[in-house]
Chain A
Amino acid sequence: MGGLLELSVAEAAGRIAAGEVSPAEYLVAWRGAAARDELNAYLWRAEDPVEEGEGPLAGIPVAVKDIFCTEGVPTTAASRILQGYRPPYTAAAVSRLTDAGVSLLGKTNMDEFAMGSSNENSAYGPVLNPWDRGRVPGGSSGGSAAAVAGGLAPCAIGTDTGGSIRQPAALCGIVGLKPTYGAISRYGMIAFASSLDQCGPLTRDVTDAALLLSVLEGRDRCDSTSVGIAGGVRKPSREDLKGLRFAVPSELGGEGVETGVREVFEATLGRIESLGGEVAETPLPHAEHGISAYYLIAPAEASSNLARYDGVRYGTRAPGAGELVEMYEATRAVGFGPEVKRRIMLGTYALSSGYYDAYYGRAQKVRAKIAADFSSAFSAFDFVVTPTSPSVAFNLGEKSGDPLAMYLNDFFTVPMSLAGIPAISIPAGLAEPSGGGPQLPVGFQIAAPAFAEQNLLEAAYALERAIGFDQRPPAADVPQGPPGQSASGDGADA
């Protein structure tokens, strides 16, 4: 069985198509692996009879972030307020996968409503990093990243609003791709910040990311902002980077980046040059204001989107409240965690009369300036590259008491989200944390112009081959139970 689990998704799909591997056998092997979850990566796991799907990905199981609605299957967005909710329909992204023959392996843990960079904001306990169980896996798609890195799923999907696919992929040593806004339908994806949210794959390698994206992308009549990727997505095959120009933003350089992360980043720039690519600095003068703009725009949209959770139509209702407004207040007080409440307050404030122009209005203008900075960079360069995260995985609890320090984790990923452009994180090496300790994965981020996913994947593929990252998380010495409440017995699968 171990051999089957070592195959990449592309390899497994090829062997299944050739009749060398039975899809049922492959799926059963992965269900067994998922059942050994000691990372609290899953909130729900499939146990229904194995059915062999049909299509290019027949027999391939996928772990799905619990923010995607799945018909009849618990969907909580890791929030108490949706405990026990079983949607009457399935998200378009998940339907596209199952139409291609994919089986749902399980629903993965996450920061509540995708608000967080450490997965510590889940109502069902944090996810542990498979490289070091005392550290965070990143967030908000932390369960999806930990499941793939920890050998609990062959591939996963997540969502990225300001880095929620790329940062956990980096901290767990896997590949994470945020496509162009509009590449994949958002229908059935529980909304956090609708102008930023985008679905994407978390995989072991770039080829698997391309394979999943080729199935996920496309126009959907249920999401008017979905346009798909013209020409589709093919398996990448490029072996060099000759003639390609890579920009390093001069403003996003030194400060706050761990020494080990900087060393891996610079070594990776050297690899780009040895593959024939050109590397030069370019100004992105407004990118450093990305965090400020993002933490006004995203909470503003969230405060509107989350108004729907009122204890009336779905989810939980606080018992015993007297009149209607008291019921709303009690339901939201009990149902939302502290980070969600913080962002609803921030967003409401940023949109309030008298502050709208100074906060939300200005943030939308900064967003336009950031997008213009990228357009200008792409007139002279093919790609913009940065470290994915300023640090390797940090300790559980290290930043949970300081929301601003947590927000600054998204420094390198937020500008691309604001500009709506695609970006991928690939594992580039290992580095020692600034506080000392065993080496941990470092992610390298590559961003491309809107809808240039194929070029992005080709470059990432060539670089991935040159880096040759083949390290896996160490096997756990002592099995540990997940901290906090285990969702499996706590209502997420009620």
Chain B
Amino acid sequence: MTDELAGILEHVDRIAALDLEDVSPTSHVVELENVLRPDRPRPSWPRDVVLAQAPDPVAGAFRVPSPQADA
């Protein structure tokens, strides 16, 4: 993949030649005004529904291998 990535980077490097001195970077393309809603608690997903898609659920939690090889 090294050659492919080098070719892509060579192409995207063309923007290095542009004069962008006084340009502000885009953060959001559509003008939006921030709005706030009342902070009311709502029910969240039941634990068993969320765990149902996990590869290795156990005892109400996501089980993963130990972070240490010898543990």
Chain A interfacial positions (CB closer than 8 Å to B): 85-88, 180-182, 195, 221, 225, 227, 286, 289, 291-293, 295-296, 311-317, 321-327, 338, 341-342, 345-346, 349, 358-359, 361-369, 371, 402-404, 407, 418-420, 450
Given the known inter-chain contacts A312-B62, A327-B64, A450-B30, please indicate yes or no for A363 contacting B15, CB distance below 8 A. Answer: yes
Of the candidates A293, A342, A349, which one forms a contact with B15 in the assembled complex, judged by CB atoms under 8 Å apart?
Answer: A293
Residue of B nearest to A362 (CB): B15
Which residues of chain A come closer than 8 Å to B14, judged between CB atoms?
Answer: 289, 292
Given the known inter-chain contacts A296-B12, A312-B55, A368-B23, please indicate yes or no for A225 contacting B32, CB distance below 8 A. Answer: yes
User: Are B26 and A371 in touch, CB under 8 angstroms?
Assistant: yes
Which residues of chain A come closer than 8 Å to B71, judged between CB atoms?
Answer: 323
Q: Mark B7-18, 1 if CB is under 8 A from A, else 0.
A: 111011111101
Which residues of chain A come closer than 8 Å to B56, judged between CB atoms?
Answer: 317
CB distance from A441 to the nearest CB of B (A): 28
* B interface bracket (residues with beta carbon within 8 Å of A): 35 or more
Residue of B11, B15, B52 with highest tally of chain A CB at under 10 A:
B15
CB distance from B53 to the nearest CB of A (A): 4
Alpha-carbon separation in the docked complex, A378 to B4 (Å): 37
Given the known inter-chain contacts A362-B16, A420-B30, please indicate yes or no for A369 contacting B23, CB distance below 8 A. Answer: yes
B67 at interface by CB-CB < 8 Å: yes
CB distance from B71 to the nearest CB of A (A): 8
Which residues of chain B come closer than 8 Å to A450, judged between CB atoms?
Answer: 29-30
Which residues of chain A come closer than 8 Å to B18, judged between CB atoms?
Answer: 286, 289, 362, 366, 369
User: Are B64 and A85 in touch, CB under 8 angstroms?
Assistant: no
Given the known inter-chain contacts A88-B45, A181-B29, please indicate yes or no for A289 contacting B15, CB distance below 8 A. Answer: yes
User: Are B52 and A324 in touch, CB under 8 angstroms?
Assistant: no
Which residues of chain B come closer than 8 Å to A180, judged between CB atoms?
Answer: 30
User: Are B37 and A366 in touch, CB under 8 angstroms?
Assistant: no
Which residues of chain A come closer than 8 Å to B25, judged between CB atoms?
Answer: 361, 364-365, 367-368
Alpha-carbon separation in the docked complex, A86 to B53 (Å): 7
User: Are B26 and A323 in touch, CB under 8 angstroms?
Assistant: no
Which residues of chain A come closer than 8 Å to B16, judged between CB atoms?
Answer: 358, 362
Which residues of chain B come closer than 8 Å to A366, judged between CB atoms?
Answer: 15, 18, 20
Alpha-carbon separation in the docked complex, A351 to B54 (Å): 30
User: Are B23 and A365 in touch, CB under 8 angstroms?
Assistant: yes
Which residues of chain B come closer than 8 Å to A345, judged between CB atoms?
Answer: 1, 5
Query: Which 9 residue pairs across A and B have the least CB separation, nearest first?
Result: A420-B29, A364-B25, A317-B55, A314-B53, A292-B12, A365-B23, A365-B20, A367-B26, A324-B67
Which residues of chain B come closer than 8 Å to A342, judged between CB atoms?
Answer: 1, 4-5
Of the candidates A227, A317, A338, A369, which one forms a contact with B30 in the assembled complex, judged by CB atoms under 8 Å apart?
Answer: A227
* Extra 20 A-B pairs, beta carbons < 8 Å, given A322-B69, A407-B11: A88-B49, A181-B30, A289-B14, A289-B15, A292-B11, A292-B12, A292-B14, A295-B8, A295-B11, A311-B55, A323-B66, A342-B1, A342-B4, A345-B5, A346-B9, A349-B9, A359-B12, A361-B25, A404-B7, A404-B11
Alpha-carbon separation in the docked complex, A183 to B54 (Å): 33
CB distance from B67 to the nearest CB of A (A): 4
Alpha-carbon separation in the docked complex, A345 to B53 (Å): 28
Residue of B nearest to A326 (CB): B65
User: Are A313 and B23 in touch, CB under 8 angstroms?
Assistant: no
Residue of B nearest to A196 (CB): B29
Which residues of chain B come closer than 8 Å to A324, judged between CB atoms?
Answer: 64-67
Interchain residue pairs with CB less than 8 A apart (18): A87-B53, A195-B29, A225-B28, A225-B32, A289-B18, A295-B8, A322-B69, A323-B66, A323-B68, A362-B15, A364-B27, A367-B25, A369-B18, A369-B20, A371-B29, A403-B4, A418-B29, A420-B29
Residue of B nearest to A324 (CB): B67
CB distance from A9 to the nearest CB of B (A): 28
Given the known inter-chain contacts A292-B14, A293-B15, A314-B53, please indicate yes or no for A368 contacting B24, CB distance below 8 A. Answer: yes
CB distance from A375 to the nearest CB of B (A): 11
Which residues of chain A come closer than 8 Å to B32, judged between CB atoms?
Answer: 182, 225, 227
CB distance from A334 to the nearest CB of B (A): 13
Residue of A291, A292, A364 with highest tally of chain B CB at under 10 A:
A292
CB distance from A186 to the nearest CB of B (A): 13
Q: Mark B30-63, 1 if CB is under 8 A from A, else 0.
A: 1010000100000001000110111110000010
Which residues of chain B come closer than 8 Å to A293, judged between CB atoms?
Answer: 12, 15
Residue of A nearest to B22 (CB): A365
Residue of B nearest to A331 (CB): B55
User: Are A346 and B23 in touch, CB under 8 angstroms?
Assistant: no
Residue of B nearest to A183 (CB): B30
Alpha-carbon separation in the docked complex, A324 to B66 (Å): 6
Which residues of chain A come closer than 8 Å to B53, judged between CB atoms?
Answer: 85-88, 313-315
Which residues of chain A come closer than 8 Å to B45, judged between CB atoms?
Answer: 88
Alpha-carbon separation in the docked complex, A181 to B29 (Å): 8
